[in-house]
Amino acid sequence: MARSEYLFTSESVSEGHPDKVCDRISDAIVDAYLAAQPDSRVAVETMVTTNRIVLAGEVRGPSTITHSHLEEIARSAVRQIGYQQKGFHWRDAAVEVYVHQQSADIAMGVDAAGNKDEGAGDQGIMFGYACRDTPALMPAPIYYAHNILKAMAEARHSGAQPGLEPDAKSQVTLRYENGRPVGAASVVVSTQHAENLSTDEVREIVRPYVLDVLPEGWMCPEDEFYVNPTGRFVIGGPDGDCGLTGRKIIVDTYGGAAPHGGGAFSGKDPTKVDRSAAYACRYLAKNVVAANLASRCTIQISYAIGVSKPLSLYVDLHGTGEVDEAKLESVLSETVNLSPRGIREHLKLSRPIYARTAAYGHFGREPEADGGFSWEKTDLVDTLKSAFA
């Protein structure tokens, strides 16, 4: 029997966190290739440390994107995040590029040829999840953890809070009653700040953003509100901690409230099912909940490298379903072509829409006019309802 009363915690990290700097650079490179050639293949990783950026990986795309161009993309991404610090500056950091052509063996297995459809870029399992915690059909702890940092970043970029610096983390613990979130038990925010600010001043800078994001009456007790618990956070970002692409996969997804298949998203073009199939799983799960077929839905899909059809599709409605799960699996398989090509075409993923996903979560965002976050649309609701009418 599922527990009805408990505490659950999720964390988020800002766009200036060292790992997120790497995700942003890698996804900006994906966007550059897709903008120039929509069928480009990209798998690029980034590492950052004190005034150093290292790019490495495999690509297949236009030769007009040179190593110099990749360096410019990396510097631009860091500048947009806001790093102009002595230990990490968009202009002064050394940039090393070790990007080469994709393996012909991998290309042979993935590319469509003759009667063979495009295959998955790798084996693996992918998950999607949706629930009724929030209007975005996301788990509440990760949803609010993201939005606290996003609000702080917007104030920093606008100049409303010049004392805030790019690196930050949040952690929200919510109290659940009868299976629903009802308030915050604790909130933790650690943010890099200007040297002239005291801990108490930083605390009062952060407080209104937490109050504005949490629903009214949800604020935690004062002694459970932790801001910069170490007392000082001036040295931060890549100068304080090495960053790597793909190291915040739980932050990127559901904050631990649902399974994750293991593969990271950033730096990968949409032929990589680590990314595209995870988006498809969220798309299906969100539409199931939006169609009132269940209050919670987890979906798993699996693939083999070079094989176009998924090996399995599994649906778990966690005892909240209004329909038969086995029938729902069949309906979902018939509704959307879940081959790598089918997902990419249905969600229109071969577009430069990925740099914006690199911070504050890949899920629970609003679909955008240019196709960004297309996997958040609920355009399957009528079809799913009709299938079970």
The answer to whether 80 is a known ligand-binding residue is no
Question: Would the annotation count 75 as a binding residue?
Answer: no
What is the 8-class DSSP label of residue 252? H
Q: Is 127 annotated as a binding residue?
A: no
Question: How many CB atoms sit inside 10 A of residue 102's CB?
Answer: 18
Beta-ladder partners of 301: 126, 313
AA letter at 285: A
101 CB neighbour count, 10 Å cutoff: 11
355 annotated binding-site participant = no
Ligand-binding annotation for 309, yes or no, is no
The dihedral built from the CA positions of residue 356, 358, 359 and 365, taken in this order, carries a sign that is positive
**Among positive and negative, which fits the CA dihedral 268, 273, 274, 278?**
positive
Q: Is 156 annotated as a binding residue?
A: no
Does the annotation place 20 within a ligand binding site?
Answer: no
C-alpha 293/C-alpha 317 separation (Å) is 9
Between CA 140 and CA 338 the distance in angstroms is 28
User: What does the CA dihedral 86, 88, 89, 91 come to, rounded to 10 degrees?
Assistant: 110
CB 265 within 8 A of CB 251: no
Tokens for 95? 């940039």
- Phi then psi dihedrals of residue 225, to 5 deg: -105, 105
Annotated binding residue 165 = no
Distances (CA, A) of 96 to 51, 70, 222, 269: 11, 10, 46, 22
Tell me how far apart the 2 most distant CA atoms of the chain are, in Å. 67
CB atoms within 10 A of CB 3: 8
Q: 268: annotated binding-site residue? A: yes
272 assigned to a ligand binding site: yes
Instruction: Provide the b/e sequence for 332-352 (b: ≥16 CB within 10 Å).
Output: beeebbbbbbbbbebbebbbb
The partner residues of 6 in beta bridges, in order of sequence, read: 176
Instruction: Tell me whether residue 169 is annotated as binding.
Output: yes
Question: First vs last Cα of the chain: how many Å apart?
Answer: 29
> Is 72 marked within a binding site?
no
- Mark the binding-site residues for L-methionine, compressed into ranges: 58, 102, 241, 272
- Mark the binding-site residues for K(+), compressed into ranges: 45
- Mark the binding-site residues for Mg(2+), compressed into ranges: 19
- Mark the binding-site residues, compressed into ranges: 17, 19, 45, 58, 102, 167-169, 232-233, 241, 247-248, 264, 268, 272
